[in-house]
Structure 1
């Protein structure tokens, strides 16, 4: 089968990918937007679950919440399909296998958020993250501290990987080059960096929870915001991070529109990385 016919055979996965990234973008747009509004109103930044719960009470919020839930489930499906069929051509060496396993884990995390959004939408749950409770259950398992610690190290690694992508611009390899992606590349870079900071801090919380055998030390984005707020110039840092999350939301929307899927895309698609390199050489 030719490269082109193989790509045509896998085109069915692309709409799922686009829906997934759109849902992910809506999620971060809601978190950052609601958090910035809360800060402006004299409150504090909101974690994922709190932001989604607040969204339910706004005009049209139920529709957006439904789109977020569907999108996050689609993102999970996309990541699982990506890992199984190697749609982004990672390969089968050790590094590639780790990356593909990471895709599945990332997908499952987003599926959990999507399910939480559904429970908020239909009033069957409060949207509480329950991260401490889940961490306590994990710690109580045989070798629980090791498992939580390993998860923490993996999360920190994922955060550092985001930061590496922001510095090196590796994310540009998966985006089409066009007027928008070229001119807004600096915003995309800032968004990837902001996500890297948050994921790394979350991993740090889980590592402390594992080392101290204290599940209350674990937490998600709400704990990140609370911790950052307690630092010198904390509120300013939180505002900067929220602006970074707006940029990451844009990054997700750009991926929804312009992400290249190597095994389902034409070979003549110019990548953003290639365009940026050509501009630098000029």
Structure 2
């Protein structure tokens, strides 16, 4: 009788830093992507994507320590997103908008789960090239490149991109952050700039998935890297790429701020 309550409280207490570590991992991944994109803008390149960032991190000097931590953190973030979606810890409700947001949370959980598995496969490979990741990467590419999956993912990315911009415009992220007014002023800059940039990239990814699906998957699965290459090919592409890099840098700062000040209300689950 008296043992069950402390046990439940203990589970919820250790899960909170686990989830915060996940926000930090997301910030680290986007910080590396921002570095790639800004470098590409300065050298007329096309930038990198999340998998490029993971490869960079897992092959760094500190990879023996960093990679297992990254795997655990991405797993924590993915699990937290599932808790948020399934138990509605942020009170999005069951309205069409609320269900759309919760579906986006599930999509986020799946995408970061894939990144976690990709990190694991690279870590287990311990070699040059793609190493042990080849089989997983080929499976993921064949799955995401399938026409029905491409069209479904296009719709999801379109909804999630719109949700990002809606969240930024209404400053709805403030509902889930506990920080001082001084800190919140800086968080506003990072959140608005970062969410808008990420939302626009998701719109481009949605377009690329739609194009892939309508062409029977001939172009293969779309990614953040593909979206950035598309942006780089537009008129004034170098300037647009630089702006996207700055926006993704702000998103990484927003992620780090969530790691510190985000309310992890797992007790509502």
Partner of 1:191: 194
Q: Equivalent of 1:135, from 141, 144, 163?
A: 144
Partner of 1:125: 133
Partner of 1:99: 101
* TM-score, structure 1 as length reference: 0.78
- Deviation for aligned residue 1:227: 0.8
Q: Which runs of 5+ in 2 are unaligned?
A: 126-131
Partner of 1:19: 21
Deviates more, 1:82-91 or 1:106-115: 82-91
| Cα pair distance change 1:69/1:31, threshold 3 Å | farther
Partner of 2:88: 86
Superposed CA RMSD in Å reads 2.7
Q: Equivalent of 1:203, from 199, 206, 215?
A: 206
Deviates more, 1:95-104 or 1:193-202: 95-104
- Deviation for aligned residue 1:215: 3.5
- Deviation for aligned residue 1:120: 1.8
| Cα pair distance change 1:30/1:16, threshold 3 Å | same
| Cα pair distance change 1:240/1:95, threshold 3 Å | closer
Distance in 1 separating the partners of 2:171 and 2:56: 35
Q: How does 1:1-282 map to 2 (within 5 A)?
A: 9=9, 10-40=12-42, 43-123=45-125, 124-125=132-133, 132-136=141-145, 138-139=146-147, 144=148, 147-178=149-180, 179-216=182-219, 218-262=221-265, 264=267
Distance in 1 separating the partners of 2:223 and 2:140: 7
Matched residue count = 252
Q: Which runs of 5+ in 1 are unaligned?
A: 266-282
Q: Deviations over 1:206-232 (max 9, x none)?
A: 111222323416410111111111111
* TM-score, structure 2 as length reference: 0.82
